[in-house]
């Protein structure tokens, strides 16, 4: 065992020598961490399971928690074995001790994500929705409930909305005395589907129902003249004649037939200055020209027609074995064309937002759409088109809409630079954000491009960088990505589990996210656990059992990200409680053995008690 430990230590130091120039180029705050990262990567190139079993039988550390202090762990175990054999242990200088590794990770986490909260060590990040730009009170309540970092996604909204969000966060910080870091998320080279041909001017309105189809809450609909917006949030807006809506009163019934010929009605619940809020209790499809009739004879004008509604989007429905043409051109996509016998005359087609990838994919490679809901294989590659055969979809047909993600997990797309859009957004980010997050990072060149752009924009030196790991290529190149991003300070990593699961396969996600947790701990870099944490709670108001377990497991990360939803405040409160409880039981990979919450063993149990 001593001989094996000598080999492990020798190989770790050799790998450090090999990457000496890379270590020298990282930020001074990360020099020690870069060395330890390389030691850990060297250690994990060996299969040490038999050695671990032997050490455990002797009651010694089995090196299973050595991520942050590799050489210190190897040397400590080596020393104990020498004590047992009465041989002289050799002491060599180590870059970081156990205590120092804990201090380094906490220091780097605080510098990136802010000071440690008073009652827990793991921070909470919340993704901001468009609605939060106009809801300052909710921003303030989330900060009081435990939000430590706000995420603004540059793939949505615009600079005007982002600035309103930033102002609300800074105002809430001053009023509450709570600190909140602002992270702005660059979109990165994300492949998405292009636009679709517009469908009919149709508005589906659905009340909230439970799993049994029973009504939970009616849909709130704003009826007012065109261009008049509601002062309160509603589920839908319908433009109607000004004189007609002016005569409506609370309690009025408004009857109509929807586009399917189903009889439906609105109930007027609240009268406003220029319109009314009505409740709808059954799902309805309303189109331009749908006739609404007041159910009282005293009305001066009993009927009116719904004004001009925006065109709907006609989705493409895809089934197993269907063909889909992915195109370079920007023409709107359209569904397949069928003949009278139901045979396909012309396959469905849709554009791809990054046509440069067409020259970098090959026949036979897999392709996935909409977070893996639809899977296919590339049958043919031409200069302007990819012919795709659908291999996985719902039997009834899966819907493919515009702006849905496209994943090519087996293809090296070589998208290494910043997009023009990301460069434009970065000018806003450096003025308002504490952290910039880079999406779909696959190669170190993309990080170098970001560093160069930040230097050109004269970004503040304390602007943090977070790498989002969400592709197979990004995961494969993670050590090189870390050594490159560590030229900056502070930095972090986000495990974007949605796209990562699609790219690596759902069956591998648990394994992949564990490896990212280990590698980032070895580099003393904080990691964010992201995607679908307490998703059902945030969106529907009630979590699933699986989500509670996932939230409990997330405590091993340094920050947990919640996505947007109408019940996000409840999600923040519950996550805060879960993280506080779990830190008493777990720190990273180490189980903390506090007393168990079981019956008193000192109390005798009689047969009558059983």
For the segment 595-602, the average pLDDT, to the nearest whole number, is: 65
For the segment 563-591, the average pLDDT, to the nearest whole number, is: 92
d(CA 115, CA 124): 12
For the segment 539-564, the average pLDDT, to the nearest whole number, is: 94
Q: 196 - beta bridge partners?
A: 333
Phi, psi of 205 (to 5 degrees): -125, 125
Strands (E), 355-463: 366-369, 374-381, 385-392, 398-400, 406-407, 435-438
Q: What is the pLDDT of residue 45?
A: 96
C-alpha distances out from residue 510 to 87, 502, 506, 516, Å: 42, 12, 8, 10
For the segment 75-87, the average pLDDT, to the nearest whole number, is: 90
Q: What is the pLDDT of residue 144?
A: 96
Q: What per-residue string of b and e applies to 374-386 under the rule 16 or more CB within 10 Å gives b?
A: bbbebeebeeebb
Number of alpha carbons in the 13 Å side-chain half-sphere of residue 396? 1
Residue 388 pLDDT > 60, yes or no?
A: yes
User: In this predicted model, what pLDDT tens digit does every residue of 434-448 receive, in sequence order?
Assistant: 999 999 999 999 999
Residue 266 pLDDT > 90, yes or no?
A: yes
Per-residue confidence band for 591, with pLDDT thresholds at 50, 70 and 90: confident
For the segment 325-354, the average pLDDT, to the nearest whole number, is: 87
C-alpha distances out from residue 461 to 111, 425, 451, 456, Å: 12, 18, 11, 12
Greater confidence, 183 or 301? 183
Per-residue confidence band for 606, with pLDDT thresholds at 50, 70 and 90: low
For the segment 70-93, the average pLDDT, to the nearest whole number, is: 88
For the segment 140-147, the average pLDDT, to the nearest whole number, is: 96
Count of C-beta atoms within a 10 Å radius of residue 477: 17
d(CA 292, CA 306): 7
Q: What angle do CA 451, 455, 459 make, to 5 degrees?
A: 100
Per-residue confidence band for 610, with pLDDT thresholds at 50, 70 and 90: very low
Q: What is the pLDDT of residue 140?
A: 96
Average pLDDT value over all residues in the chain? 91
Omega of the bond leading into 462 within 30 degrees of 0 (cis): no
**Lowest mean pLDDT: which of 168-172, 199-203, 325-329?**
199-203
Q: What percent of the chain has pLDDT over 90?
A: 73
Q: Residues 6 or more apart from 41 whose CB is under 8 A from it?
A: 15, 479, 519, 522
Q: 223 - beta bridge partners?
A: 238, 276
Q: What per-residue string of b and e applies to 444-463 under the rule 16 or more CB within 10 Å gives b?
A: bebbebbbebbeeeebeeeb
Per-residue confidence band for 357, with pLDDT thresholds at 50, 70 and 90: confident
The angle, 0 to 180 degrees and rounded to 10, between the axes of the packed helices 136-145 and 568-582 is 10
Greater confidence, 198 or 42? 42
Residue 536 pLDDT > 50, yes or no?
A: yes
Quote helix, strand, coil % in the chain, to nearest 5: 35, 25, 40
Q: What is the pLDDT of residue 572?
A: 96
Q: Residues 6 or more apart from 540 whose CB is under 8 A from it?
A: 565, 567
For the segment 216-244, the average pLDDT, to the nearest whole number, is: 91
Q: 264 - beta bridge partners?
A: 256
d(CA 135, CA 165): 9
Instruction: Give the three-state DSSP class for 268.
Output: strand
Residue 462 pLDDT > 80, yes or no?
A: yes
């Amino acid at each position: 065992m001593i001989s094996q430990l000598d080999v492990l230590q020798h190989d770790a130091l050799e790998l450090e020598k090999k990457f000496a120039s890379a270590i020298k180029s990282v930020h001074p705050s990360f020099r020690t961490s870069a060395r330890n990262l390389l030691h850990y990567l060297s250690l994990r190139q060996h299969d040490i399971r038999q050695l671990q079993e032997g050490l455990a039988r002797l009651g010694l550390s089995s090196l299973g928690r050595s991520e942050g202090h590799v050489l210190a762990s190897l040397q400590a175990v080596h020393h104990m074995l020498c004590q047992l054999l009465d041989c002289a242990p050799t002491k060599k200088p180590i870059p970081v001790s156990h205590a120092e590794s804990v201090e380094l990770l906490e220091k780097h986490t605080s510098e990136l994500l802010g000071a440690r909260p008073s009652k827990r060590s793991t921070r909470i990040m919340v993704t901001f929705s468009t609605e939060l730009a106009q809801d300052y009170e909710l921003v303030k309540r989330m900060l009081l409930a435990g939000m430590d970092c706000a995420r603004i996604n540059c793939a949505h909204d615009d600079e005007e909305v982002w600035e309103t969000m930033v102002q609300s966060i800074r105002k809430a910080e001053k009023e509450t005395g709570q600190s909140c870091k602002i992270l702005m998320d660059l979109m990165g080279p994300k492949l998405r589907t292009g636009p679709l041909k517009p469908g009919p001017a149709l508005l589906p309105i659905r009340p909230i129902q439970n799993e049994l189809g029973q009504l939970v809450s009616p849909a709130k609909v704003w009826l007012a003249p065109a261009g008049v917006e509601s002062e309160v949030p509603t589920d839908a807006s319908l433009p109607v004649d000004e004189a007609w809506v002016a005569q409506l009163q609370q309690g009025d019934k408004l009857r109509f037939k929807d586009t399917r010929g189903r009889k439906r009605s609105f109930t007027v619940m609240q009268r406003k200055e220029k319109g009314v809020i009505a409740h709808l209790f059954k799902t309805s499809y309303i189109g331009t020209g749908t006739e609404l009739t007041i159910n009282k004879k005293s009305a001066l004008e009993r009927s009116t027609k719904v004004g001009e509604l925006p065109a709907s989007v006609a989705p493409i429905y895809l089934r197993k074995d269907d063909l889909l043409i992915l195109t370079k051109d920007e023409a709107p996509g359209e569904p397949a064309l069928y003949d009278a016998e139901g045979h396909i005359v012309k396959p469905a087609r849709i554009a791809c937002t990054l046509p440069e990838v067409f020259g970098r994919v090959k026949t036979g490679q897999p392709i996935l759409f909409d977070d893996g809901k639809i899977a296919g294989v590339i049958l043919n590659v031409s200069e302007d088109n990819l012919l795709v055969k659908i291999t996985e979809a719902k039997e009834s047909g899966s819907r493919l809409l515009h702006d849905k993600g496209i994943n090519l997990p087996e293809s090296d797309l070589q998208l290494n630079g910043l997009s023009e859009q990301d460069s434009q957004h970065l000018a806003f980010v450096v003025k308002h954000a504490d952290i910039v997050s880079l999406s779909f990072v696959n190669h170190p060149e993309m990080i170098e491009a970001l560093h160069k752009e930040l230097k050109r924009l004269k970004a503040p030196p304390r602007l943090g960088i977070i790498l989002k790991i969400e592709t197979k290529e990004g995961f494969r190149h993670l050590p090189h990505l870390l050594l490159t991003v560590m030229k900056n300070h502070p930095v972090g990593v986000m495990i974007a589990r949605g796209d990562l699961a699609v790219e690596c396969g759902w069956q591998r996600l648990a394994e992949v996210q564990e490896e990212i947790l280990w590698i980032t701990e070895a580099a003393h870099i904080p990691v964010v656990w992201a995607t679908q944490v307490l998703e059902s709670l945030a969106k529907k108001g009630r979590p699933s059992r699986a989500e509670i377990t996932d939230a409990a497991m997330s405590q091993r990360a340094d920050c947990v990200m919640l996505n947007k939803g109408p019940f996000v405040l409840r999600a923040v409160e519950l996550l805060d409680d879960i993280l506080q409880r779990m830190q008493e039981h777990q720190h990273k990979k180490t189980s903390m053995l506090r007393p168990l919450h079981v019956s008193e063993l000192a109390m005798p149990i009689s047969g009558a008690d059983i």
